[in-house]
Amino acid sequence: MKIFLQDSETASVIEVDDTDILLAVIPLADGEELWEEDADSALAPGAVGADLKRRRLHRGRHRVDVRVHYNGDTKDRRFAPGATIERVHEWAVGPHAFNLNPADAGDLVLRETGSTEELDTGAHVGRLAGLDHELDLDLVVADRFAG
């Protein structure tokens, strides 16, 4: 089976068997763990390919403290490193953060603070943060095409 693997530097595709113990076949550095995408906790040591709910993993050491800035305010939350930008967006516009109505929320996108590039919504926060434990994002109005 194909596994889509991200870490602090890269995104890649690897092949594993359903019966493979993932921690045995995916190389890890000291302190690193495997996290299913958008899951809150790391994989159990004996997890095999067939145990995965999603075939998307993150290889990393740390949870990431994400700060989202919007309209002069900041909300923060610690995410597992395999949390996607789409998951962060869902939290940021939701009732536990800026609590925006769906129409306003749909017009907003996330960018890394100081960047003008919109983020790949499938990127993991652990990849964007690199070796840091923190990530600053701006919630901004998406481009409107007129003229």
Partner 1 sequence: MDPDEAALVADLTSERFEAGVERGWWALIDRSGTTAIFHIVAMNGRAIDISLDCTGYPGSAPAGVLWSSEDSNPLEPKFWPQGGRASEVFSLTWSVQNGGSPYMPFDRRAIVGHDPWRTQHPRHVWGTDKTIVDYLGLIRDVLRTATKTGPIGDAA
Q: Which residues bind partner 1 (CB under 8 A)?
A: 2, 4, 11-13, 54-56, 86, 89-90, 102-103, 106-107, 109, 116-118, 120-122, 142-147
CB of 122 to partner 1, least distance (A): 6
Which of residues 55 and 133 has its CB atom nearest to partner 1 in the complex?
Answer: 55
Question: Measured from the CB atom, is 9 or 134 closer to partner 1?
Answer: 9
Distance CA 131, CA 21 (A): 26
State in angstroms the smallest separation of the CB of 117 from partner 1: 6
Long-range contacts from 101-108, C-beta under 8 angstroms, 24+ separation: 107/141, 107/142, 108/70, 108/139, 108/140, 108/141, 108/142
Distances (CA, A) of 55 to 15, 16, 38, 103: 10, 10, 11, 32
Q: Which is nearer to partner 1, 31 or 114 (CB)?
A: 114
Residue with tokens 């690897």: 14
User: In Å, how far from its chain's centre is CA 69?
Assistant: 17
CB of 135: closest distance to partner 1 in angstroms? 20
Min dist. Cβ of residue 110 to partner 1 (A): 11
> For residues 45 and 106, which CB has a smaller minimum distance to partner 1 in the complex?
106
